[in-house]
Structure 1
């Protein structure tokens, strides 16, 4: 049977352990008990994973320890609540959770959660008292805000000191934003009390979902359980028209973080919301009160941001390059419906760049691999399709006399496997595109269904670290066929296939509403036998701004499946030729290029911010740190802008941070750095091929 999987979008990632839909009432401790349905779900989940999960594993004592550690990490990721004594007490069950799961005994997990809730109550009670202290910000001390890899606090006294510094740091952060002390205390009181309230609202289903996902995510990062309530909310979200700001969000510790923006949505069009930004406040309309959302559950923040088309939402953002304690900015967005046509493939032409001569390069910007499956099932010849759109754009570009084409897959997180396969077929005569191997070891080969080659001219594919899944299938196939030059950064490395399994289908009688399991059940392999998993697709010409970091892509996810290789299939290479001359020209051109110099400087700054785990509690030092970072960032950006003949950025102002006018990547000078160089590389290649043809 053919694998025709729709690759689930990053939206499904919101259904991970970080997303908990708690009840709206405080749940008494004696109600936090496992239910019969949860025990039934446990047995079914274990059976489904054992039979159908791609990764074969042993549920043994070693995995039991991993499950416990992950469970405690999910509950207390920054080690702010549990102490070493708690961990030692929990360690008694570390070698028996595997047996408990096999027999659907969930009491240990619930016992641990009840201790967690008690510790939250204790810490928040202390934090509220610490808010009344008058702190001296001339004392030279520091606060370690990232304690993920630190040991547990040794005792209550040690934890009290940690919270004293945490509260002092929180007060200082708001003080440096010119907030009066009364407002600071009110804001933090609501923040801390909100953590306590939301913890008390978590019910039995929430506890079960967190614990069972501590097991599933100990296998690999894309298998997770959705409780009945989460499943219902997911269905509602999928049925509703996509109205809002167009951003996929995730939860990291206390923060709601922008994972990516949706092409055509208000967030992306504003040019002010970027992946990695933290949302620390949300306000409605132009004058609505700003709600501090640090410490909120992800779904609560999503609900606050969502709204009717045409209404206004204001976001207080902490940019990624500011770290956890830097300066925030205000962004105003008008909610809008995100239309499919806004995400559709678009074309334009690059010409007149220095060094390109009269070469005309056509660009097809492809934000996603989209397909109207319902329309296709009904035989609608006008159904929306990536391949249909790109076929039309290719013909238009050829009619306009372009010399070569770039397919821009930057920020493309994937989509339909069918479209990735058929799109590849536009550029090759015929042949295999990708191999799919399931948990049983059965191999299916997806092939180009159309023997016609729509475009046979010079081709380049531009990718970045966010190009994932279906993008990697397409780029990998083009590279294997030597059909085009792959340019840019190593891709994300998402090479596995997930499906949703309704647990109720395994129950004959009784309650069948048991939730769903998102299951990894297959892996992609290129036609050369290598996987797109983990390593991604490595470009033929890698940009100097590319960073192979454990903080990015599939490599940043715990328990990610490793790269693997199987036997290659037979295919006919197209003969791209030797690329070394064009690589050398590229390296010479970007050596002192202001654009790539700027991108490298941005990466350096981000790396410094990511590696910072503590912050000074000395007010003057914190101010100096903020000012130096801001001056450095502005100087680097303005040096780039003036080097390319543009005016430097104005000083920060409400007009700038509140902008609602659309910003197009086509006109964004930073977004054009990578694209313009790709055009230069392809123009070099076209020139080289022309000279070779003249010699022959």
Structure 2
């Protein structure tokens, strides 16, 4: 889509560097982070692309500068826990100049603000450490205000100390309620605070750029995003549901990069030498490369050495769980391979229902995202990973076991590949338009399903919630417009904009790259699978429209049968984003409806409502929603041990009793105190009800005219 425009972007964008960076504002202290020439190039290039090609056409001026400024401060200190009022007064001079800084590639003011933040952060945690020597009185009727975003910034260091003394007191009280050994609790908290300082000191200039670029891009629209090289790699792994590496997830613990999970069938698993909680202390490339000591490294930095192309060798120096740092490490040689992230792929289950004495089988397909391994697809790999391919295989399996209907569960599915949204829709209709896309020049393109094959022609429903977005809304909107299936759940997110992925390495001119390489004086040798240098821009360039003409933007998709909103609609969704594009309409596409549920929906709604009025599960769900709203409105907590313990005990008992009532309502045995819930037990009442609604429809004799038979 819009390939010509993308080629123009790639071939036509070149950037000229204008002079050296300005002198940093304020005093320079040890530990400060500073921008480099490469980041200057990135911020100018991103600003140029946004100004020229973003759908919204927002000029970089003083007005947008203030929005960027406020977003940047909010991202650093949203809860007003670190900056002093005097800091904010000092920063005010940057409100109207950030737009000029961005155009010039001058990040010194941005980094100055960040360095003040980092200094304040470390001061607060250091102060917290000093408070651990105190003995707090938990019989006082004090409160700690944990939600401060609507309160003014603290005016003095004395007031800040008072705030943080209460925070330390609260942290210790939390530990004390679980364990009376205060010496142990203080040591636990000391390690926690020391780790926070350690992580703070590992922050890099790339982190600063990422935070600021988020403020910049989100001031334009919520879905234009810059990804630094490491985040770009993670984004593309998420899209493809695959990566090339050793097949293990890592986490930093006490300055060690630690193995936390091992992917079954991956190189780490097959070696039988890599175990959970092993600590990686060194990484070497190939059979003869020198080991790089990674103790104290950030996880994302270590990952750049450990991941790499399929077939290459990486050697790890491991300290097994329980071994001391002074013990001899073991060395493991692994051949990297392609890892398919199966736990994040489409899955199926079969639920049975009783309809007038007859057993009805409903296949439920949970789709977590619209993923596609672009690299494998372009390379002609016949086994490339994609949502549509996975769902097609699942549907074939469900047909073999004779299911009567299919529920597509798209809850929490934030979208992904537009191609997959179109192709997945094509599994349920013969041919026809699926989505319309209008660019900034008002040109409209229609994406069609061209494949007349139908993988499932029977009854179907689509289950959605507030976090069903983008590609999920394209799919559910098309299914609704065609009358192919019922949409069940809550109003979806409303993300109806199109982003084009721009690799900045391909956009920035070779001359600029050479200049930066000379300035930084870095060699060209890179580890296998090295990241891009400049990162990636996902740029909003168009809007989605349903085949019926309405945009999915802002309004999302309204279900045919509505469930209570577990996710607060007033807190999450496109219509809560100040910079979101509005809803509008264009002409509908030419398409032929295959069915119409209007005649049966009133009866289906009544059956659903009657069931809900008599359902204990529904009652408990509404109570849970009310409790969540109550908790969400709270801004402070008591520091009186006896009062807090009483509140916690009552809440715990209430949750225990309600959980057992919920289990009983679903026909499950209640649990005893301390008993662990069985691993594969399903308490998803809303999913069960979605299957029941489809069962009701099947029991009504499929009163729907359909033209989708394969």
Q: With structure 1 as the length reference, what TM-score do the two structures score?
A: 0.76
Distance 1:194 1:561, change over 3 A: farther
Q: Deviations over 1:392-451 (max 9, x none)?
A: 554554555444332233343434322321221232232100112334433221101112
Does residue 444 of the first structure (1) align with residue 445 of the second (2)? yes
Give the conservation status (yes or no) of the 8 Å contact 2:51–2:59. Answer: no
Distance 1:298 1:162, change over 3 A: farther
The equivalent of 2:45 in structure 1 is 44
The equivalent of 1:622 in structure 2 is 644
**Following the alignment from structure 2 to structure 1, what is the Cα–Cα distance between the partners of residues 485 and 397?**
20
Gaps of 5+ in 1: 6-26, 250-261, 267-282, 287-295, 315-336
The equivalent of 1:576 in structure 2 is 596
**Following the alignment from structure 2 to structure 1, what is the Cα–Cα distance between the partners of residues 344 and 303?**
22
The equivalent of 1:12 in structure 2 is none
Q: Secondary structure at the match of 1:153?
A: coil
Q: Deviations over 1:265-302 (max 9, x none)?
A: 99xxxxxxxxxxxxxxxx9379xxxxxxxxx9895999
The equivalent of 2:682 in structure 1 is 669
**Following the alignment from structure 2 to structure 1, what is the Cα–Cα distance between the partners of residues 577 and 174?**
30
**Following the alignment from structure 1 to structure 2, what is the Cα–Cα distance between the partners of residues 462 and 313?**
43
The equivalent of 1:115 in structure 2 is 116
**Following the alignment from structure 1 to structure 2, what is the Cα–Cα distance between the partners of residues 234 and 414?**
13
The equivalent of 1:271 in structure 2 is none
The equivalent of 2:290 in structure 1 is none
**Following the alignment from structure 1 to structure 2, what is the Cα–Cα distance between the partners of residues 563 and 139?**
53
The equivalent of 2:277 in structure 1 is 284
Does residue 518 of the first structure (1) align with residue 527 of the second (2)? no
The equivalent of 2:698 in structure 1 is 686
Which has the greater radius of gyration?
Answer: 2
The equivalent of 2:311 in structure 1 is none
**Following the alignment from structure 1 to structure 2, what is the Cα–Cα distance between the partners of residues 356 and 451?**
37
Equivalent residue in structure 1 for 2:664, among 634, 642, 655? 642
- 1:377 Cα deviation from its structure 2 partner: 3.8
Q: Secondary structure at the match of 1:221?
A: coil
457-466 or 357-366: which moved more?
357-366
- 1:51 Cα deviation from its structure 2 partner: 1.5
**Following the alignment from structure 1 to structure 2, what is the Cα–Cα distance between the partners of residues 488 and 233?**
30
Give the conservation status (yes or no) of the 8 Å contact 1:145–1:614. Answer: yes
Give the conservation status (yes or no) of the 8 Å contact 2:616–2:665. Answer: yes
Give the conservation status (yes or no) of the 8 Å contact 2:230–2:300. Answer: no
- 1:36 Cα deviation from its structure 2 partner: 2.8
Does residue 240 of the first structure (1) align with residue 244 of the second (2)? yes
- 1:187 Cα deviation from its structure 2 partner: 2.7
Give the conservation status (yes or no) of the 8 Å contact 1:245–1:265. Answer: no
Aligned positions of 1:163-242 closer than 5 A: 163-178=164-179, 180-228=181-229, 239-241=243-245
Aligned positions of 1:319-330 closer than 5 A: none
**Following the alignment from structure 1 to structure 2, what is the Cα–Cα distance between the partners of residues 416 and 501?**
15
- 1:338 Cα deviation from its structure 2 partner: 7.3
Gaps of 5+ in 2: 6-27, 253-260, 266-275, 280-296, 308-314, 323-337, 518-532, 706-710
Give the count of matched residue pairs. 599
Equivalent residue in structure 2 for 1:507, among 506, 509, 512? 509
**Following the alignment from structure 2 to structure 1, what is the Cα–Cα distance between the partners of residues 66 and 608?**
50
Give the conservation status (yes or no) of the 8 Å contact 2:32–2:115. Answer: no
Give the conservation status (yes or no) of the 8 Å contact 2:353–2:695. Answer: no
Q: Secondary structure at the match of 2:155?
A: coil
The equivalent of 2:458 in structure 1 is 457
- 1:488 Cα deviation from its structure 2 partner: 1.8
Give the conservation status (yes or no) of the 8 Å contact 2:437–2:545. Answer: yes
The equivalent of 2:143 in structure 1 is 142
Distance 1:150 1:558, change over 3 A: farther
Q: Deviations over 1:169-195 (max 9, x none)?
A: 111111112052222222333333343
Q: Secondary structure at the match of 2:510?
A: coil
Give the conservation status (yes or no) of the 8 Å contact 2:142–2:640. Answer: yes
Q: Secondary structure at the match of 2:220?
A: coil
**Following the alignment from structure 1 to structure 2, what is the Cα–Cα distance between the partners of residues 464 and 521?**
26
**Following the alignment from structure 1 to structure 2, what is the Cα–Cα distance between the partners of residues 341 and 125?**
43
Q: With structure 2 as the length reference, what TM-score do the two structures score?
A: 0.74
The equivalent of 2:521 in structure 1 is none
Give the conservation status (yes or no) of the 8 Å contact 2:362–2:407. Answer: yes
The equivalent of 1:599 in structure 2 is 621
Q: Deviations over 1:488-521 (max 9, x none)?
A: 2223333333344233432231237333333333
Give the conservation status (yes or no) of the 8 Å contact 1:351–1:360. Answer: yes
Equivalent residue in structure 2 for 1:550, among 570, 581, 588? 570
130-139 or 544-553: which moved more?
544-553
**Following the alignment from structure 1 to structure 2, what is the Cα–Cα distance between the partners of residues 181 and 94?**
46
Distance 1:242 1:583, change over 3 A: farther
The equivalent of 2:55 in structure 1 is 54
Give the conservation status (yes or no) of the 8 Å contact 1:425–1:450. Answer: yes
- 1:633 Cα deviation from its structure 2 partner: 1.1
Give the conservation status (yes or no) of the 8 Å contact 2:68–2:216. Answer: yes
177-186 or 364-373: which moved more?
364-373
Q: Secondary structure at the match of 1:435?
A: strand
- 1:83 Cα deviation from its structure 2 partner: 1.5
- 1:343 Cα deviation from its structure 2 partner: 5.1
Distance 1:338 1:572, change over 3 A: same
**Following the alignment from structure 2 to structure 1, what is the Cα–Cα distance between the partners of residues 211 and 35?**
13
Aligned positions of 1:22-37 closer than 5 A: 29=30, 32-37=33-38
